[in-house]
Amino acid sequence: MAPVQLTDYGVITDKEILPITRLNFGRTQLETSSGVHTLGRFECTGQVTVTGMPKSCEDLWRKGHTLSGLYSVMGTAMIETVYCDFTKLPSDPGFQTWIGYADVKSSPTYFFAQRNAQLSEIKIPIPFDVELLNVGGAMNFTSGKFTAPVAGKYFFSFTGLIRFPGSSSTLQYCRVFLYKNGDLTAKSFSDEISAANQYETLSLQSTLNLIKGDQIWLEIDSLTPPGNNLNGYGYDHFNGFLLEEDISQFVKT
């Protein structure tokens, strides 16, 4: 006989027996006795190991994040911004909402080069004598070569002014090519037929996928007849910049 209140409790620490689907109880000692049972809330401790950088809200959740909000996670080749609702479980709708891409650059890179001197020499990298901008130091103005500091997508643009001395019978033309590691990548062309001295513009633009160490430069491929030249005097411009860095090199698998 035990005419007093009795209690008992237990703590389940083996996660392999979860989930709990049933509780069994024996009879009470007296017919007038009653029993009450309570199944307490789960209490999680410790962290699940997630190797590498987090790639989703679920990775962040497994690392122990509990505050809902905007987070940056590692995408395939770019950093992505997601909204994580940690009031929900990973299997619940709305647990992760994709927001967009984050413009992350480990090495900001952009340059603006200008030529003041005339140039008529063909098939050499065009050098530039005025450095207006060279953030990241990737452009060598003396050699005329740009060296990619990181892998990614780059944009390049060239505008030039050509001086044609004049000819009533001969087609005068100039071609300027863009090269990547010695391979022809883009072309520009300008021509004129006139007995008088004339000036014509040419331009080219190109967006390229580059890996670290790739080199880009311009060359006058042909300039006909002799006496023509890239005019200089500040009318010849070459610029480029890193559009989007490929951050897959930082992803650890």
pLDDT at 209: 96
Over residues 85-95, mean pLDDT? 93
Give 195's pLDDT tier (boundaries 50, 70, 90): low
pLDDT at 236: 94
Q: Alpha-carbon distance 216 to 252, whole Å? A: 30
Over residues 71-83, mean pLDDT? 88
Between 236 and 29, the higher pLDDT residue: 236
Q: What kind of architecture, by CATH, is found in domain 110-245?
A: Sandwich (2.60)
pLDDT at 44: 64
pLDDT at 50: 67
Q: How far is CA 207 from CA 142, 153, 180, 240, in A?
A: 23, 7, 12, 9
Between 116 and 10, the higher pLDDT residue: 116
Q: Can you give the residue ranges of every domain in the chain?
A: 57-101, 110-245
The single-letter code of the amino acid at 143 is: S
Q: Alpha-carbon distance 108 to 226, whole Å? A: 41
pLDDT at 227: 72
pTM: 0.70
pLDDT at 185: 96
pLDDT at 239: 97
Q: Alpha-carbon distance 90 to 84, whole Å? A: 10
Over residues 182-203, mean pLDDT? 87
